[in-house]
Amino acid sequence: MNIGVIGATGYVGGRLVPALLARGHNVRCLARTPSRLDRVWWRTDVKVAQADVLVPTSLESAFSGLDVVYYLVHAMGHAYDFERTDRVGADNTKLAAEYAGVGRIVYLGGLGDDDSAVLSRHLASRHKVGRILASGPIPVTELRAAVIIGSGSASFEMLRHLVEVLPMMICPRWVTRTRCQPIAITDVLHHLVAVLDEPEAPGGIVEIGGPEVLTYREMMQRYAAVAGLPRRLIIPVPVLTPRLSSHWVNLVTPLPIGLARPLVDSLINDVVVTPAPADTNESSSTSDTNGSTIPTASGTTVTETSRTHRPISFDDAVSSALSHVRDLNVSTSWTDSASPVDTAASPMPQDPAWAGGTILADTREALAHASSEAVFTTVAGIGGERGWYFADSLWAARGWIDELLGGVGMRRGRRHPDQLRVGDALDFFRVEVYEPPKVLRLRAEMKLPGKAWLEWRITSNNDGTTTLRQLARFHPHGIAGRLYWWSLLLPHTVLWNQLIKRLARIAEQNEPTATEP
Give the distance, in angstroms, between the CA of residue 475 and the centroid of all CA atoms in the same chain.
14
- Residue 434's DSSP bridge partners are 440
pLDDT value of position 165: 85
Could you list the mean pLDDT of each consecutive 10-residue stretch along the chain, which spans 517 residues? 93 92 95 87 91 92 94 75 90 95 94 79 91 94 94 87 86 85 95 81 82 94 93 82 66 71 79 64 37 37 56 93 65 33 56 72 94 94 91 88 86 88 92 93 92 94 95 89 92 94 93 53
154 in helix, strand or coil? helix
Report whether 433 contacts 422 (CB < 8 A). Answer: yes
pLDDT value of position 346: 60
Q: Count the Cβ atoms, other than its own, within 10 Å of residue 10.
A: 20
Give the distance, in angstroms, between the CA of residue 121 and the centroid of all CA atoms in the same chain.
25
pLDDT digits (tens, 9 = 90+) for 245-292: 666 676 777 777 677 777 777 788 899 998 644 443 444 333 333 333
Q: Is residue 171 within a helix (H) or strand (E), and if so which, with residue range? A: strand 168-172
Which amino acid would we find at residue 316?
A: D
pLDDT value of position 352: 63
- Residue 460's DSSP bridge partners are 466
Residue 375: closest CA among 435, 456, 446, 311: 456
pLDDT value of position 340: 41
**Torsion-angle region of 108 (φ positive above 0: left; ψ -120 to 50: alpha; else: beta):** beta
pLDDT value of position 268: 83
426 burial via Cβ count (<10 Å: 0-12, 13-18, 19+): buried
pLDDT digits (tens, 9 = 90+) for 96-155: 999 999 999 999 999 988 776 678 888 999 999 999 999 999 999 999 999 999 988 888
Report whether 438 contacts 457 (CB < 8 A). Answer: yes
pLDDT value of position 496: 94
